[in-house]
């Protein structure tokens, strides 16, 4: 249990220190692996059953460590049992109950639809190898969605790849760009789950980013690299724009050198 809590403490504090989690901004969910799942065997439910807006049979019976709505990520380090909770889905994936946390009372993040629907996609696409999903508000990535005209998945992926030579290695499938959708909505949840089935990072216009990974470190790392690229990109724009940049040939060469499977359609 302590090890599991230490993981989320590290990730949430890193996010807060990076300035990605102002006030209650951002949320984290971790689908519990076999060992982590067993830690909560024998816990009696602390809440009634809450119906999910749609059934999610793909993640029926799963347990998740999820940050609480309205809670500050920077406070998880101090009071994990207040700011996070463990929920368990029923055997149909139609409702959940609280097993632990959100002391003295509380509820999972308002972005629960995006988290749980994305976990369905992630579990399937990675053959049950990926467990972490993070949503956060990194300043430079958000700024980029205002500063660049006519953004779409292709142009944003290319811009980030060109802004930092490591990007194509870390996210060779690119980033999916979602035009603005209301926070916390089922529409945003569905669009994010579809997007994350294609790529490991999803940008929410004017709002933030979502990332997935095998564990919290991998999800965090992907977001961190994208945010660094966005920072470089904005600095270059502020300095009068790029006078030269990585060519398609160079990007392809980096990907080939590190044996990364690039989404070639992003070059077309």
Q: What residue ranges bind ligand 13P (CB under 6 A)?
A: 24-27, 69-70, 109-111, 183
- Sign, CA dihedral 98-91-123-119, equals negative
Alpha-helical segments (H) within 39-152:
80-83, 112-125, 139-147
Distance between CA atoms of 213 and 126, rounded to whole angstroms? Answer: 9
Residue 27 or 153: the one with the smaller Cβ distance to ligand 13P is 27
Q: Which does 69 bind (CB under 5 to 8 A by kind): ligand 13P, Zn ion, none?
A: ligand 13P
Q: Which stretches does DSSP call E strand in the chain?
A: 27-31, 50-51, 63-67, 84-89, 95-101, 132-136, 175-178, 201-204, 208-213
Q: Which does 84 bind (CB under 5 to 8 A by kind): ligand 13P, Zn ion, none?
A: none
- Residue nearest to Zn ion as judged by C-beta position: 208
Q: Which does 24 bind (CB under 5 to 8 A by kind): ligand 13P, Zn ion, none?
A: ligand 13P
Q: How far is the CB of 243 from ligand 13P (least distance, A)?
A: 37
Residue 55 or 69: the one with the smaller Cβ distance to ligand 13P is 69
In angstroms, the first-to-last Cα distance of the chain is 48
Q: Which does 185 bind (CB under 5 to 8 A by kind): Zn ion, ligand 13P, none?
A: none
- 111 included as an active-site residue: yes
Q: Is 226 helix (H, G, I), strand (E, B) or coil?
A: helix
Q: How far is the CB of 20 from ligand 13P (least distance, A)?
A: 10
- Window of 34-42, 172-180, 203-211, 228-236 that interacts with Zn ion by CB under 5 A: 203-211
- Window of 38-46, 112-120, 200-208, 236-244 that interacts with Zn ion by CB under 5 A: 200-208
- Window of 53-61, 118-126, 153-161, 204-212 that interacts with Zn ion by CB under 5 A: 204-212
Distance between CA atoms of 153 and 151, rounded to whole angstroms? Answer: 7
Residue 113 or 208: the one with the smaller Cβ distance to Zn ion is 208
Q: One of 88, 111, 176, 231 is an active-site residue; which one? A: 111
Q: Which does 109 bind (CB under 5 to 8 A by kind): ligand 13P, Zn ion, none?
A: ligand 13P
Closest Cα partner for 20 from 200, 186, 226, 212?
Answer: 226
CA distances from 256 to 37, 153, 175 (A): 38, 22, 19
Q: How far is the CB of 195 from Zn ion (least distance, A)?
A: 15
DSSP letter string, 138-170: -HHHHHHHHHSTT--HHHHHHHHHHHSTTHHHH
- Would you name the residues annotated as active-site residues? 111
Return residues touching Zn ion (CB under 5 A).
208
């Amino acid at each position: 249990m302590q090890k599991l809590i230490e993981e989320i403490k590290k990730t949430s504090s890193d996010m807060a220190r990076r300035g990605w989690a102002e006030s209650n901004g951002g949320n984290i969910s971790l689908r519990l692996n076999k060992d982590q799942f067993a830690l909560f065997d024998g816990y009696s439910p602390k809440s009634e059953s809450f119906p999910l807006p749609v059934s999610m049979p793909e993640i029926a019976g799963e347990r998740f460590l999820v940050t609480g709505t309205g809670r500050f990520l920077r406070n998880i380090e101090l009071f994990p049992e207040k700011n996070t909770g463990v929920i368990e889905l029923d055997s149909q994936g139609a409702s959940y109950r609280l097993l632990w946390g959100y002391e003295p009372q509380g509820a999972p993040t308002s972005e629960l639809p995006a988290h749980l629907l994305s976990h369905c996609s992630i579990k399937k696409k990675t053959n049950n190898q990926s467990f972490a999903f993070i949503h956060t508000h990194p300043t430079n990535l958000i700024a980029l969605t205002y500063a660049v005209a006519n953004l779409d998945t292709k142009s944003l992926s290319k811009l980030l790849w060109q802004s930092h030579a490591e990007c194509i290695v870390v996210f060779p499938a690119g980033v999916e760009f979602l035009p603005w959708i209301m926070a916390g909505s089922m529409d945003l949840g569905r669009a994010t789950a579809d997007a994350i089935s294609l790529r490991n990072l999803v940008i929410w216009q004017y709002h933030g980013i979502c990332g997935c990974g095998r564990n919290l470190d991998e999800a965090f790392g992907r977001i961190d690299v994208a945010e660094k690229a966005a920072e470089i990109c904005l600095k270059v724009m502020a300095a009068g724009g790029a006078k030269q940049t990585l060519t398609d040939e160079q990007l392809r060469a980096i990907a080939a050198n590190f044996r990364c499977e690039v989404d070639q359609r992003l070059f077309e």
